[in-house]
Chain A
């Protein structure tokens, strides 16, 4: 077990190294001149040279990379080219927004996805099953920005015209400052995330539940005279949810690193927005910082999922 863990951790570090290296290379392959962007169009060559010198961009590429890795090993992600703020501080200030968005969305899509999936599995090929599938898949079939804009149009714009102002179209209020405002501002983004994600969960719950309901111990439970609800929820759902938990781990890992589109549509200052805004300004330390955080979440989530599997099911435990 310890060896398995060590191997996976090593692999995770390898992924982080390769991903950050790839972004580093991509940046220098692309036409780039952050010094000119910073100094402005009217800057003299001397000014630009000075800016380049200050950013360390005048050194050889190998030296820049060595410096980057050296600082990274000491937990230093560098400073933003623009705001001069430490990248770690920027990331820390954006993280609560993305975490609020991802976790709230996850709660919503789990409730809807599992609910619809169980209902469908109890009566396969019924109207509930068919109708639920079409409705869920409609969400999956739309680009996220379209779902978000439909919600803004109907629940903000049209209601606003009618004098109802329940749903703000965007912005973020910290949880610690005003819990109600926090939830109110995040409601539409949560629904957006849930709408495009719930289909995967209802499908998975349905097929997993159908499989479980065919098992012998379910028949035993029924023959004991337990109520159908008890059989389904107490005995069936528990084991049917194993693959759902796996998928949830991977999805959360992906989303916690930034929910680019949803944050963009609703103007939420999260990690995704930070990354997205740093690309046109060629703010390399910030781009690498966000990519590293995003990959770390994915790697850790995968590790936890594998670990959970290995603990639950001895058969997948690697030798």
Chain B
């Protein structure tokens, strides 16, 4: 990763390490801080394991012999029709329809990670493009775009999400779009603020003076210096999106069944927690491990990139 000019992170890093002689870029410094951070390493390892589990879901399902949507009404349910607990056949027990919970949690990792990552990528791209345009162009364009972002941030988002999903019906795509729509403006506002101050730097002026066009200045000169805060915000947006999906599921507006999502499994389990502790516990642990790892990693990345950084992140609907 090359950086056009030393940013704030580099200045801070230089101030924090006066003894350093070797020339090291801000990304290199951040990487070295991250590598020495046990919380960051534990989080990264957890996320890699979860990603491997998601990729391996069909293999594991094949090895066990239970599909994610296969119901076992005779061996997977008690005579009273309740879920059966963990056993040799069903390692983590079954759900209310007699499906293998382990297999569904593994497949759920695919959906939950996809919802988190796709919603985050959409929101980040939209936020960066709009924020960069607003901050760089200034004037009337900035006024319109900034007011638009303020407006999106003033929506009672959970209420409108409910309205949107009840109109368009629930689906995986709608869930991701709704989450992205209510998340991009927060990133856009941060990017705009940063772009506004970077625009005044000498090297941007230098770029203008050699005849660079607006696109080149925005995406080649300014954007690389925004990557640090954007990366942190995006890392923190993934768990927020996963939690948001779970909240939508709880309200009956999430990804429709039988698609396995952790949020969907959790909300299905609510009626059974008194008789089948494994049913809410294992999907809950899977979700918590993932979101907590992302949140801790995001925190560590921010600390590493800029030890004096400000706020970021958001909840997923209260």
Contacts and interface: CB of A to CB of B under 8 A. Distances in A.
A227 B206 CA distance: 50
A144 B311 contact: no
Contacts of B151: 14-15, 18
B167 A207 contact: no
A243 B310 contact: yes
Interface in A196-219: 196-197, 199-200, 203-204, 207-208, 210-211, 214
B162 A210 contact: no
B33 to A, nearest CB: 11
A146 B284 contact: yes
A143 B243 contact: yes
Contacts of A243: 310-311
Given A22-B160, A29-B167, A143-B247, A302 B317 contact: no
A279 B309 CA distance: 41
B233 to A, nearest CB: 13
Contacts of A146: 246, 266, 284, 287
B274 interface: yes
Interface string B147-183: 1001100111011101110110000000000000000
By CB atoms of chain A within 10 A, which of B164, B239, B280, B292 has the most?
A: B292
A262 interface: yes
B159 A141 contact: no
A172 interface: no
A295 B266 contact: no
Contacts of A197: 315, 318
B288 interface: yes
Interface string A265-306: 000000010011001100000010011001100110010000
Interface residues of B, number: 47
A141 B47 CA distance: 14
Given A260-B251, A261-B247, A144 B154 contact: no
The 9 closest A-B pairs by CB, nearest first: A294-B156, A141-B291, A30-B167, A143-B246, A141-B292, A145-B250, A137-B295, A204-B311, A298-B154
Contacts of A4: none
B260 interface: no
Nearest to B318: A144
Residue with the highest number of chain A CB atoms closer than 10 Å, among B154, B243, B316: B154
A207 B310 contact: yes
B310 A258 contact: no
A261 B250 CA distance: 9
A130 interface: yes
A112 interface: no
A193 interface: yes
B154 A140 contact: no
Nearest to A16: B154
A130 B296 CA distance: 10
Given A140-B313, A291-B156, 5 more contacts: A22-B160, A137-B295, A146-B287, A203-B311, A243-B310
B308 A23 contact: no
Nearest to A149: B270
